[in-house]
A and B are shown apart, each in its own frame.
Chain A
Amino acid sequence: MSMLLNMLKSIFIYRPPETPDTKDKFTGNQSGHAEKGQNQSVGAADDVDWQMILQKLQSSQTDKITYKNGDNNKAGPNEVFTIKKPAVTIKKRRKGRKGTPNESFTGLPDVSYAAIEPIKNGMVSNKLAANIEYLKLKFYVSKNQDIVLREFRIAQKIEACLVFVDGMVDTMVINQFVLPQLMNPDYFANYSQGNIFDYIIKNVISIYQVTRLKDYDTIIHQILNGITALFIEGFDEVLLIESRGFEKREIESPKTENVIKGSQEGFTENLRTSLSLIRKIVKNNKLVSEILPVGGKNKINCALLYLEDTADPQLIEEVKRRISGIKYDFIGESGMLEQLLEDHPFMLFPQVISTERPDRAASFIMEGQVVIICEGSPFVIAVPVTIFHLFHTSEDSALRWQYGTFIRLIRLFGMLTALMLPGLWIALVQFHAEMIPTSLLMSIVKMREPVPFPIVIELLLMELSFELIREGGIRIPGVIGQTLGIIGALILGQAAVAAGLVSPILIIIVAITGIGNFVIPNYNLSMAVRIGRFLFIFLGAVLGFYGISIGITIMFVMLCSMKSFGVPFMTPFAPKTKKNSDMIIRKPIFKQPVGGGYLKRR
């Protein structure tokens, strides 16, 4: 009902578009400079009711005067904690703005305008009250229950406030290593003049990582990351104290990339844990990890990892450019990120590789690729990739070269089977039956006798059933899912043959195809193959081997046209780049250089 009312209001009641002038009137600010500054700040000053902040500041100032008057007798003047610098700053600003419309604004004390001026420009104000009011508005503190603004006095004298998100911080850090030290005057016995932040960092807080910042965008982002921010009255800076301590999953074996020989550690959803897992393998001072926020609204953290002297600088720049250019509001995990990063969104084949194995990610870094770890996902992304990367597993290198080569060839065979076997079968039976030896042909014909459908329907029926069982098996939890998959396939297949719906040989074809699909080590590639299979079935059914040839040609020409972050997908084969033997055949490990010189951008 209210929605309807709002709609009617919006239709019938005219509201003039909000111009900069009307905004100024609203905020009481008619200065062009301030407007410019407001526009410059990226997100600090948006949708903030400045009038409300001003009113709050005014009321808090009145309170403070009352409070100070009453408090003077108790505390007494203390020369040590007199903060003169901010007073000078305020005076300067007053001087600078003499005669500006701010002064002529009705009733409100000029100090309030000076206090919110930096905030409008996206910077921290030296007035603690202004900062607190701004944060309260920014975080919707009246409604938001887990944003904590803990006001206190440093050494029982200087007004200060800690801001953090409950649940994202380790409360022990705040309770034992931050608040007690800051509130205890003994820790400030040697403090006289100068910047209090310097003193606190060097003498008071025993936390390993602290940063000073002025920019509100970053400060708010860091608070949301679980960092605690310390605001101090009279200072236009903030001390960010490392206090992250949210709940996380323990390191477990990878769920989708099991190996027999090799590491059994997998990434977790925690960014820092994942970073440390890679650092544990690549103990190289040139390993760089850059953290970038991504997602228009949820601003999730993602880390870029690369070897400074190995990765192509152009590639690094390109990855950063693409990540910072993402305007999509919500990035939940790496799967979403990879879709926004890839070169050809409409192509079937994946153009980035995702892995949940730290050893594999480390090998990518060593080859000169850039690894992107996205907070909240145990899968990390590596770019650029070639089609050959999608065939490899970490086990290939762990095994002796003969075994590694053998399993790679098996994988290749599996992939070709999964992609083309049903299409080839249908083409063979429908168009090229002369190829089938007579005895086998007789057997096939005999088995197909009771089947009422054309072979293409029969095949599609079985393929779809298999896909259903497969998808159902994943959704049903735990062991039941696997059992259902196996039993479902067996019973369904048996029953379908008994009912005369499909021929037994087709069950074999579909089963081999399914197994071939499971051999593919990359999940995205196996999905592409599953879809591609249906295209080949269609081509085989319509045009026989000629159709399959058409499919192969189009598929490979498309593969040749694809690029992953500027690197051709078929590199180093087409186009030929620096020699790299690690494509399908694996050479002895001592003959196989580490390094991705072949990954040249074009």
Chain B
Amino acid sequence: MLREDKFESREAVAMLVITCMAKVFFTDANIIARRVGTTGWYMVLISAGVAAVGFSFVYTLLKRFPGKNIMEVYDAVFGRYIGSMLSFLLAAVLLSSAAINLREYIEVVKIYVFPKTQPSFLISSFVIVVVVLSYIGFENIARYSKLAAYVLFIGFTILFLLASYLFEFYRLYPLLGYGLRNTLFQGFLRSSIYGEITLAAVFAKSLNGTYEVKKVGYTSLVIAAVLISLSQLGFILIFTYPFAQEIVAPFYTAASLIHFGTFFHRIEALFLFIWNISILVEVPVLFYMVLLIYSHLFGISDRRPIILPFAIILMTISLIPENIVELTGVYIKYLREYSWIVFYMFPAAALLVAVLRKKREDKYA
């Protein structure tokens, strides 16, 4: 039997923040601009508020069952069959997220860097990395996340500062965008962008107790919300909102506008490292979570034999969308707008049932 991966809370926070942040570097900013116009920067804060409530359900549920992860809690509350079904749905959403995020990244990279390369080649190369990292282990991905987080934060700050001369504050107007009600509604719907925070409940056993799950969850949420809000703010300060709706990869485009003297220009390729590394953390983390849930569902003690089959499934799913239009118009739309049901509502329902049926587990039982 494999030993449970153990890592510290900082590593978990870094991993979750990167996992949340990786999406916003690509088409997400564009979609937000389409939905809420100029109010994207505070819409993501509203989403964070909703996610905080959602995570509170998760945390309260875990508190009732100390020492258990979310899959075990589902089993304890709903019984083995319904519990397994809920866990399976969570795994399915995570696997779809991993595949769709991977495809989104590949599409963006293909547009800007590899226009003549087949997506399948790029996806294959990525899937190989996912397999290698999964073999090396989750603990080490978490450790690497902490290292990467510093580099990504520095890169993000440099990008923000370098692009700051392009900021025009009049672009924030109208402050209420398409209307406050619309912003609130979209904010609620798009709370799924922080859905990865609830992964803390999946790898709860790798952390030191339920309190650390709470600490990791809320800290990650706050950091991710601030960074996503800042990135949305920067984006809307650089591009007018009608123009912002047309850009596929807004941050890449923003980086390409940076121009200092004859020699310091077109540095967007340098910032490719930020997007690359963030996505190289995000997808393996989501993928490993799927392995974790699946191995729990079927009582598999060694996860290594299932890495390769799942990698093939990951690759297959990521190849389903025909093009970027279909990808953003269908898959990303539904995943980012409705996955909150799986991330927050399942735990909420479990909590409700646990309270009604007075199910809880004594800490020292």
A residues neighboring B (CB under 8 Å): 428, 431-432, 434-435, 437, 439-440, 543-550, 552-554, 556-558, 560-561, 568, 570, 573-576
Could you tell me if B266 and A574 are in contact, using CB atoms closer than 8 angstroms?
no
Task: Give A435 to B267 CA distance when docked, in angstroms.
Answer: 6
Could you tell me if B11 and A554 are in contact, using CB atoms closer than 8 angstroms?
no
Stretch of B69-77, B128-136, B178-186 lying at the A interface: B128-136
Task: Give A295 to B126 CA distance when docked, in angstroms.
Answer: 45
Task: Give A296 to B114 CA distance when docked, in angstroms.
Answer: 56
| Chain B 112-151 interface 0/1 with A at a Cβ cutoff of 8 Å (1 = within) | 0110000000100110010011001101110110111000
Instruction: Indicate whether B80 reaches chain A with its CB closer than 8 angstroms.
Output: no
Q: What 16 additional pairs, Cβ within 8 angstroms, besides A437-B262, A543-B114, A550-B280?
A: A432-B113, A437-B263, A549-B276, A550-B276, A552-B273, A552-B277, A554-B133, A557-B140, A557-B141, A557-B143, A561-B136, A570-B147, A574-B143, A574-B144, A575-B7, A576-B10
Could you tell me if B266 and A435 are in contact, using CB atoms closer than 8 angstroms?
yes
Could you tell me if B272 and A575 are in contact, using CB atoms closer than 8 angstroms?
no
Task: Give A413 to B8 CA distance when docked, in angstroms.
Answer: 29
| Chain B 195-222 interface 0/1 with A at a Cβ cutoff of 8 Å (1 = within) | 0000000000000000000000000000
Could you tell me if A544 and B140 are in contact, using CB atoms closer than 8 angstroms?
no
The residues of B that contact A570 with a CB separation of less than 8 Å are 143, 147
- Interface majority SS on A: helix, strand, loop or mixed? helix
Task: Give A560 to B284 CA distance when docked, in angstroms.
Answer: 15
Instruction: Indicate whether B358 reaches chain A with its CB closer than 8 angstroms.
Output: no
Could you tell me if A560 and B147 are in contact, using CB atoms closer than 8 angstroms?
yes
Task: Give A575 to B10 CA distance when docked, in angstroms.
Answer: 10
The residues of A that contact B277 with a CB separation of less than 8 Å are 549, 552-553
Asked whether A553 and B109 contact (CB < 8 A) given A437-B265, A575-B8, the answer is no
Specify which of A435, A546, A558, A575 is in contact with B109 (CB 8 Å cutoff). Answer: A546
Could you tell me if B11 and A575 are in contact, using CB atoms closer than 8 angstroms?
yes
- Interface majority SS on B: helix, strand, loop or mixed? helix
The residues of A that contact B276 with a CB separation of less than 8 Å are 545-546, 549-550
Task: Give A462 to B143 CA distance when docked, in angstroms.
Answer: 37
Task: Give A573 to B262 CA distance when docked, in angstroms.
Answer: 39
Could you tell me if B8 and A573 are in contact, using CB atoms closer than 8 angstroms?
no
Task: Give A568 to B11 CA distance when docked, in angstroms.
Answer: 15
A554 to chain B, nearest CB (A): 6
Q: List 23 A-B contacts (CB under 8 A).
A: A437-B265, A440-B263, A543-B114, A545-B113, A545-B269, A545-B273, A546-B125, A546-B272, A548-B273, A549-B272, A549-B276, A554-B133, A557-B136, A557-B144, A560-B144, A560-B147, A561-B136, A561-B140, A574-B143, A574-B147, A575-B7, A575-B143, A576-B10
The residues of B that contact A560 with a CB separation of less than 8 Å are 140, 143-144, 147
Instruction: Indicate whether B320 reaches chain A with its CB closer than 8 angstroms.
Output: no
Instruction: Indicate whether B270 reaches chain A with its CB closer than 8 angstroms.
Output: yes
Specify which of B11, B109, B262, B266 is in contact with A434 (CB 8 Å cutoff). Answer: B266
Task: Give A538 to B189 CA distance when docked, in angstroms.
Answer: 44
Specify which of B11, B125, B132, B262 is in contact with A543 (CB 8 Å cutoff). Answer: B125
- CB nearest neighbor in B for A431: B113
Q: B244-283: which residues lie under 8 A (CB-CB) from chain A?
A: 262-263, 265-270, 272-273, 276-277, 280-281
Task: Give A581 to B115 CA distance when docked, in angstroms.
Answer: 46
Task: Give A344 to B136 CA distance when docked, in angstroms.
Answer: 13
Task: Give A553 to B113 CA distance when docked, in angstroms.
Answer: 19
B122 to chain A, nearest CB (A): 8
Q: Which of the listed residues B125, B144, B148, B266 has the most CB atoms from chain A within 10 Å of its own CB?
A: B144
Asked whether A549 and B280 contact (CB < 8 A) given A434-B266, A437-B263, A543-B125, the answer is yes
The residues of A that contact B132 with a CB separation of less than 8 Å are 554, 557
The residues of B that contact A440 with a CB separation of less than 8 Å are 263
Interface size on B, residues (CB 8 A): 37
Specify which of B113, B147, B281 is in contact with A544 (CB 8 Å cutoff). Answer: B113
- CB nearest neighbor in A for B7: A575
The residues of B that contact A437 with a CB separation of less than 8 Å are 262-263, 265
Could you tell me if A573 and B137 are in contact, using CB atoms closer than 8 angstroms?
no
Task: Give A547 to B109 CA distance when docked, in angstroms.
Answer: 12
Asked whether A553 and B144 contact (CB < 8 A) given A432-B113, A561-B137, A576-B10, the answer is yes
The residues of B that contact A573 with a CB separation of less than 8 Å are 147
A22 to chain B, nearest CB (A): 47
Task: Give A213 to B242 CA distance when docked, in angstroms.
Answer: 93
The residues of A that contact B268 with a CB separation of less than 8 Å are 435
A78 to chain B, nearest CB (A): 73
Could you tell me if A545 and B272 are in contact, using CB atoms closer than 8 angstroms?
yes
Task: Give A568 to B10 CA distance when docked, in angstroms.
Answer: 17
- CB nearest neighbor in A for B14: A574
The residues of B that contact A544 with a CB separation of less than 8 Å are 113-114
Task: Give A560 to B7 CA distance when docked, in angstroms.
Answer: 12
- CB nearest neighbor in B for A545: B272
Asked whether A550 and B10 contact (CB < 8 A) given A435-B269, A574-B143, A574-B146, the answer is no
Could you tell me if A557 and B133 are in contact, using CB atoms closer than 8 angstroms?
yes
Task: Give A440 to B265 CA distance when docked, in angstroms.
Answer: 13
B231 to chain A, nearest CB (A): 20
The residues of A that contact B281 with a CB separation of less than 8 Å are 553
Closest 6 CB pairs of A and B: A549-B276, A432-B269, A560-B143, A561-B140, A574-B143, A560-B140
Could you tell me if B272 and A550 are in contact, using CB atoms closer than 8 angstroms?
no
A181 to chain B, nearest CB (A): 63
Q: B265-317: which residues lie under 8 A (CB-CB) from chain A?
A: 265-270, 272-273, 276-277, 280-281
The residues of B that contact A543 with a CB separation of less than 8 Å are 114, 122, 125
Task: Give A557 to B132 CA distance when docked, in angstroms.
Answer: 10
Task: Give A552 to B276 CA distance when docked, in angstroms.
Answer: 10
Q: Which of the listed residues A435, A557, A561 has the most CB atoms from chain B within 10 Å of its own CB?
A: A557
Task: Give A568 to B146 CA distance when docked, in angstroms.
Answer: 15
The residues of A that contact B269 with a CB separation of less than 8 Å are 428, 431-432, 434-435, 545
Task: Give A439 to B265 CA distance when docked, in angstroms.
Answer: 12
The residues of B that contact A548 with a CB separation of less than 8 Å are 273
